[in-house]
Chains A and B, each alone.
Chain A
Amino acid sequence: MIRFLMKGLLRDRSRSLFPILTVFAGVLLTVLLQAWMHGVMSSVIQSTAHYLTGHVRVTTRSYANEADQVPNDLALLGIDTLIAGLRRDYPDLLWTPRTRFGGLLDVPDAQRETRAQAPVTGIAADLLSPASPEGRYLDVGRAIVRGRMLRARGEIVIGDELAAKLRIGPGDTVTLMSSTMYGSMSLTNFVVAGTVRFGIVAMDKGTVIADISDIQQSLDMANGSGEILGLFADDIYHEERATAVTAAFNGGLRAADARAAEGEFAPVMGTLRTTSGLSDYMDTVSFYSVVLIVIFTVAMSIVLWNAGLTGSLRRYGEFGVRLAVGEAKSHVYGTLLAESVMIGLAGSLLGTAVGLGLAYYTQRHGLDIGSVMNEATMMIPNVVRAEVTPVTYAIGFLPGLLATLLGSAISGLGIYRRQTSELFKELGT
């Protein structure tokens, strides 16, 4: 029977070609868009986790309230003990101290007077400890354009654009002007070890990267840091686990000493979703992913319904003859549905295959959107890539099949409205 139906579809292209093309196009778009949206979302989350918030972040309560201003006067102190406790209690996360800071980078002339100055934002991380995971997260080595990664205290790497603007390069000495955690002006000399380009507009505009021990000394922050980041060992943001760890940490502090836990310098943990400001963005992307699938299924069903109606009109006579020779209406309807399943399968398989191919291509090569991200403050890479996940394989397939079936099911209902007594009259005209 299937073979018979297949032959019918292959021999009568008007029955198969347009519906297959419709399903193919819809499935292809769905697969590609899902992979693309997931890829962009993953890039943003990963960059944000690596450069800003970790998957979870510990700060003081007051710092958390004003985190946008990077208030280092509200930094965590006694971080050695705090990190040791976090490593003991939550070993599935890697814990590392970070301090973000702002200031001016001052370049001296031969008389040690100011030759050039530029505002900078800085990241201080544990870059010199052999066991530190920061090399992987900040990936400074990969981003080096000139010179090398910092190897010793007293060195920094700076954005390549910033270096060009200040006309400095590896080996030059610069002075970082910033504020200590007590509000005094701090001046610290650094040797530029290398220049970097991260490919993230928000980072490349004026970033400097230094070792945390240098910045602790520079900002008078002994055994302190602005933040402690925790990242899952597999480098993937597991929201449920992050929420559970956060609740356990904050709850544990409250249980130990409720009053101290409410103090302005008490440590408090937050998840990437709450600390990064990406909450709305993540919800929006998830919402539109669902909307995309629904719109695709509904729109394709309508198109295929319409195609089915047109086909039914064209096959009006055929159905009439089949009913006249004694074929049951339900059988005619059933074969119509079986045909639609075949069409749906063919279209979905083709669409998924080509969609996956294109998604893999954009996953490998990416799309450079740097030129439209000049004013971006979000941690989004200049080159965004699609990301193929197990969901990508299925996301277009089922709606493709469902839409075809739904379209045929609706248009095929006309079969039941045919009156057997009128058939010969209809066929005669």
Chain B
Amino acid sequence: MTRYYLPVLLLLPLQAVSQGPDGDDILRKVDQNMFAETKVVESRMVIHGRRETRTVESKSWQRGTDESYTEFTAPAREKGTKMLKQNDMLWEYSPSTDRTIMISGHLLRQSVMGSDLSYEDMMDDPHLPNMYTAAVASEDTVRGRRCWVLNLAAKKPDIAYDHRTVWVDKERFVLLKEDLYARSGKLLKTVDVREVMRVKNRWLGKSVLYKDVLKEGEGTEFFSDNVTIDVPIPDYLLSKASLRR
């Protein structure tokens, strides 16, 4: 009897090793690394359009994943434009018209300030474990960092990207690269984290290149110039009243 079971017993530890870590566990660790209770970010978007390169500067206040307030500070044409996200609602305030417009329906697919990011990207729940199930596909090296390559499949049908392939730094649990796909399997966007930074005990993307594959141009570089986390954000800043302030 032992004669038959011994080879099987010997193989069991090998099988455990080859299975590696669970994809969902890795995704949860990514989530723990990336998300703070509150975050204030001063950023620049350098938009390499088909015709010219423009830089848009902004400051954002984020509380959890459902509330955020962004004020654009440059260039002059966009200065004073504000965006407010509350749960699944998004408003934009335009100072030149003194109008607050709710962004919904097909407007969500429009580009934010002409960048490679859409309003829909801003509305997606950034907690990947809430939206996707993950499976480890392989291992790879990105910018000298060893990564898990995870295939993410959507849990719900109504999210912007039906599946994603993400490259997760094995030690820092920060995403270094993403390919975002439509349900049809068509590649829609790529995200390339070119530089990471340490903020408190977290690793965050400092310079990220977003590329809408369906759009002409060289993509949008997003620079997080100044990030502070876990700082108090007053309630009034995350209310609609703040838009016309």
Number of A-B residue pairs having CB atoms within 8 Å of each other in the complex: 57
Report Cα–Cα, A185/B78, bound state, in Å.
10
Contact with A along B107-120 (1 / 0, CB 8 A): 10011011100000
Report Cα–Cα, A177/B100, bound state, in Å.
11
Contact in complex: A182, B114 (CB < 8 Å): yes
| Given A106-B101, A177-B101, A265-B51, A187:B96 Cβ within 8 A | yes
Chain A residues whose C-beta falls within 8 Å of the C-beta of B100 in the assembled complex: 112-113
Chain A's closest residue to B115 (CB) is A183
Contact in complex: A180, B114 (CB < 8 Å): yes
Contact in complex: B113, A184 (CB < 8 Å): yes
Chain B's closest residue to A190 (CB) is B97
A contact residues, total (Cβ < 8 Å): 23
Contact in complex: B50, A188 (CB < 8 Å): no
Chain B residues whose C-beta falls within 8 Å of the C-beta of A114 in the assembled complex: 101-102
Chain B residues whose C-beta falls within 8 Å of the C-beta of A246 in the assembled complex: none
Report Cα–Cα, A185/B101, bound state, in Å.
11
Give the residue of B47, B51, B54, B99 whose beta carbon is less than 8 angstroms from that of A189: B99
Q: Nearest Cβ in chain A — how far from B202, in angstroms?
A: 31
Report Cα–Cα, A73/B102, bound state, in Å.
24
Contact in complex: B49, A182 (CB < 8 Å): yes
Chain B residues whose C-beta falls within 8 Å of the C-beta of A183 in the assembled complex: 49, 111, 113-115
Chain A residues whose C-beta falls within 8 Å of the C-beta of B94 in the assembled complex: 187
Report Cα–Cα, A184/B117, bound state, in Å.
11
Give the residue of A179, A182, A220, A265 whose beta carbon is less than 8 angstroms from that of B110: A179
Contact in complex: A112, B98 (CB < 8 Å): yes
Report Cα–Cα, A112/B100, bound state, in Å.
7
Q: Nearest Cβ in chain B — how far from A74, in angstroms?
A: 8
Q: Nearest Cβ in chain A — how far from B120, in angstroms?
A: 13
A108 interfacial contact with B, CB 8 Å: yes
Which chain B residues in 62-109 approach chain A with CB under 8 Å?
77-78, 92, 94, 96-102, 107
Q: Nearest Cβ in chain A — how far from B228, in angstroms?
A: 27
Report Cα–Cα, A112/B99, bound state, in Å.
6
Chain A residues whose C-beta falls within 8 Å of the C-beta of B54 in the assembled complex: 182
Which chain A residues in 198-214 approach chain B with CB under 8 Å?
none
Which chain B residues in 45-65 approach chain A with CB under 8 Å?
47, 49-52, 54
Chain B residues whose C-beta falls within 8 Å of the C-beta of A113 in the assembled complex: 100
A132 interfacial contact with B, CB 8 Å: no
Chain B's closest residue to A188 (CB) is B97
Q: Nearest Cβ in chain B — how far from A181, in angstroms?
A: 8
Report Cα–Cα, A112/B244, bound state, in Å.
11
- Interface CB pairs A-B, < 8 A, 15: A73-B50, A114-B102, A175-B99, A177-B107, A182-B54, A182-B114, A183-B49, A183-B113, A183-B114, A183-B115, A185-B107, A187-B92, A187-B94, A189-B97, A220-B77
Residues of B within 8 A of A (CB): 47, 49-52, 54, 77-78, 92, 94, 96-102, 107, 110-111, 113-115
20 more contacts with CB within 8 A, not counting A180-B114, A187-B92, are A73-B49, A73-B50, A104-B107, A113-B100, A114-B101, A179-B114, A182-B51, A182-B52, A182-B54, A183-B111, A183-B113, A184-B111, A184-B114, A185-B92, A185-B107, A187-B99, A188-B97, A189-B97, A189-B99, A265-B51
